[in-house]
Structure 1
Amino acid sequence: MNMNEPLLAELDHELAQTRKTLERIPADKFDFKPHAKSGTMIWLAHHIAGICDWGFTTLTTPSLTMENYTEPANPTTNEDLVAAFDKSAAQYREALAKASNEDLMAVWTMTWQGNEMIKMPRIAVLRGMIMNHLIHHRGQLTMYMRMCDIAVPGMYGPSADEKQFGESANA
């Protein structure tokens, strides 16, 4: 079995959950932030939408120098947010589907200000730094949503806003 197969299965599930979360972010809540030290909802949502770019970069380059990375401007509509996510996710998935076991075991490095921040096999970066990063920030975003009374989609079963195994969400 190619090592990318279980990663692809997990990625497909998590991308679907992430997309349905991003689809629910209304533009009138883009500027919401729960605390002065927190980013805005659109910053967080756009960060999530771009995490797949990092997965693509991990698979297609031997390293990343953070000083050379420029974060794109935040989208101004939900449609643009979801389109950015869809493009990023498709590129990442395609690169992962093409990855051989040798590609996945190759060491990948991320540096910042001349210091090695990450140096590990690509498969470890993809699982630990990309997938976990996506899930972590999506969890943060669902808390922003809850605080703004935006219905939170279920990720691994129904949420409090969805039917609970045959019950009404209002029950």
Structure 2
Amino acid sequence: MNIHFEPLDINESLAQQMANWYNDPEIAPFVHPTFTESEPHHFTAQDVLDQHHPNPKILKFLIMDDDYPIGEFSITEDFQWLLGPKEDAAWISICIGEKSYWGKGISKITMKTIEDICRTLGFNRIELGVFENNHKAHQLYLRMGYVQFAKTEHMTYSQGEWRTDLRMEKYL
């Protein structure tokens, strides 16, 4: 594996690949909340293209193995839904969309890179949300020094039940 990160430069082919990730039944419960007792939104390539307009407060990256995209992450400044202190805080999100890369340490490598980028940008705190049923991600964040400081009950409807969003933070 040759894991590296590139700024996300969206195109239709990549948008379709990302829509496939978001719609995968093993991934969907962890990446986008569903606020009603209904089936999760089915993403199209156009939905993904619409979400990726340039925004100076959001840095988006692809997680690559050589020249093949396997996931994505973002770092957001001034995220409107931060629950902790907002000054010098970054909101992050990560998705390893290619399941054949799960369990190979890619998320840990990516999280270390995210922390390095956040330090370089002058952030002193990272906040993230993880749904309670995403046990592997939750355990990774704990091992990396993130601490749960809040939770939002019934945040998302997934797999036939309401799930809690756990908010975690780490001071850099």
**TM class by smaller structure:** under 0.3
TM-score, normalization by structure 2: 0.27
Rg larger in structure: 1
Between Structure 1 and Structure 2, which shows a larger proportion of strand residues? Answer: 2
Between Structure 1 and Structure 2, which shows a larger proportion of helix residues? Answer: 1
TM-score, normalization by structure 1: 0.27
